[in-house]
């Protein structure tokens, strides 16, 4: 699994989205979560191979981090950089608060409300309609509840705990 993820991430860094879809997804050693294909489709549709318009493959990075946590006990967030709860909060505030959105645009953020994506310093991150469900799908597929260590002001822990409890989610 680690070698497959490494190959996919290398190809993503080169903007080779079509090659991943046509070749690498087909040889994944486990069933590919649907959210990975959706993120890849977004990359093909909206992101080029240039550094200024590159996809930040959040879901693929979560998959890698889940694999590393399961195998080695590493916490999530180092590669994916952005805590999923903070990212979703940021997105929702940008949607609902015009003043906040204008401030963020002045700070260099770009928003694609049609595709539901944010251009962060690391690239375009697809938020989509199902960010929470996507994380849960990855956790279920990988058989591990991811522990994130990059949420300021609280100890490391899983994301979306209240939603998981409400849904009766277990890994």
SS (H, E, C) 94-155: HHHCHHHHHHHHHCCCEEECCCCEEEECCEEEECCCCHHHHHHHHHHHHCCCCCECCCCCCC
Range of the domain at 134: 2-167
Mean pLDDT of the 151-164 span = 88
The pLDDT score that the predictor gives to residue 46 is 94
Give the whole-angstrom CA distance, residue 152 versus residue 68.
22
Question: To 5 degrees, how large is the angle CA 60–CA 58–CA 16?
Answer: 60
Dump pLDDT digits (tens) for 89-136. Answer: 999 999 999 999 999 999 999 999 999 999 998 899 999 999 999 999
Nearest Cα to Cα of residue 39 among 18, 65, 8, 60: 60
Q: Bridge partners of 118?
A: 111, 125
Residue 78: predicted pLDDT = 87
Q: How confident is the model at residue 162 (pLDDT cuts 50, 70, 90)?
A: very high
Q: Read off the pLDDT of each residue in 51-77 and give the average, rounded to a whole number.
A: 92
What is the model's pLDDT at position 19?
94
Q: Is the pLDDT of residue 151 over 70?
A: no
Residue 77 is predicted with a pLDDT of: 87
What is the 8-class DSSP label of residue 88? Answer: H
Total number of domains in the chain = 1
Q: What is the pLDDT of residue 48?
A: 79
């Amino acid at each position: 699994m680690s070698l497959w993820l490494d190959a996919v991430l290398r190809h993503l860094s080169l903007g080779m989205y079509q090659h991943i879809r046509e070749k690498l997804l087909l040889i994944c050693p486990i069933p590919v979560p649907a959210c990975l294909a959706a993120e890849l489709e977004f990359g093909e549709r909206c992101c080029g191979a240039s550094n200024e318009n590159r996809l930040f493959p959040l879901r693929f990075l979560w998959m890698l981090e889940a694999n590393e946590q399961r195998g080695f006990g590493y916490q999530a967030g180092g590669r994916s950089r952005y805590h999923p709860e903070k990212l979703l909060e940021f997105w929702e505030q940008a949607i609902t608060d015009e003043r906040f959105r204008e401030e963020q645009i002045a700070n260099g953020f770009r928003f694609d409300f049609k595709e539901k994506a944010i251009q962060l310093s690391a690239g375009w991150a697809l938020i989509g309609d199902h960010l929470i469900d996507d994380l849960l799908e990855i956790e279920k597929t990988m058989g591990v509840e991811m522990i994130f260590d990059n949420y300021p002001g609280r100890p490391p822990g899983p994301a979306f705990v209240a939603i998981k409890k409400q849904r009766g989610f277990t890994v």
